[in-house]
Amino acid sequence: MAKMLDLSEDLAREILSRNRLTSQRSVRSTCKLWNALSKPATSNQLLGFMTMNSKVCALTYEKSFVDPVINQVSPLDHFEKSKTSYCDGLLLLVTKDTRLLVWSPYLNQLVSIPPRNSYSRLDRYAFGYDNNNNKNRNHKILRFIDDHFFTDGLEKHAFTYQIFDFASNSWKVLDVTPEWNIKPYQRGVSLKGNAYFFAQEKIARVTPGGIQDFLLSFDFTSERFGPRLPLPFHSYAEDSVDFSFVREEKLLVLYQSKKFLDTMEIWVTTQIEHDDVSWRKFLRVDMKPLSRFQFDFKSGSFFIHEEKKLAVVFDLDGYKPTETRRYQRAHIIGEDGYYKTVNIKQATDLGRFGYTQPIYCVQLCVLLLMVQA
How many distinct structural domains can be found in the chain? 2
Amino acid letter, residue 77? D
- What does the mean pLDDT of the chain come to? 73
pTM: 0.75
Give the model confidence (pLDDT) of 210-224 as tens digits: 678 999 999 999 999
Q: Quick one: 33 and 51 in the same domain?
A: no
Give the model confidence (pLDDT) of 3-41 as tens digits: 444 445 555 544 444 444 444 555 555 555 445 544 544
CA proximity to 48, closest of 66, 38, 56, 60: 60
Q: What is the DSSP string of 116-129?
A: SS---TT-EEEEEE
For residue 373, is it within any domain?
Answer: no
Sign of CA dihedral 183, 236, 275, 246: positive
The residue with greater pLDDT, 83 or 227, is 227
Q: Quick one: 13 and 161 in the same domain?
A: no
Q: Structural domain of residue 37, as residue ranges?
A: 1-42
Q: Quick one: 30 and 62 in the same domain?
A: no
In this prediction, residue 218 carries a pLDDT of 95
In this prediction, residue 14 carries a pLDDT of 46
For residue 86, is it within any domain?
Answer: yes
Q: Quick one: 224 and 258 in the same domain?
A: yes
Q: Quick one: 26 and 52 in the same domain?
A: no
Give the model confidence (pLDDT) of 87-109 as tens digits: 888 888 887 777 888 988 777 78
Q: How far apart are CA 100 and CA 114, in angstroms?
A: 7
Q: How far apart are CA 198 and CA 182, in angstroms?
A: 7
Give the model confidence (pLDDT) of 184-208 as tens digits: 777 788 998 999 999 988 875 555 5
CA proximity to 28, closest of 45, 16, 11: 16
> What DSSP element (H or E) covers 18?
helix 9-18
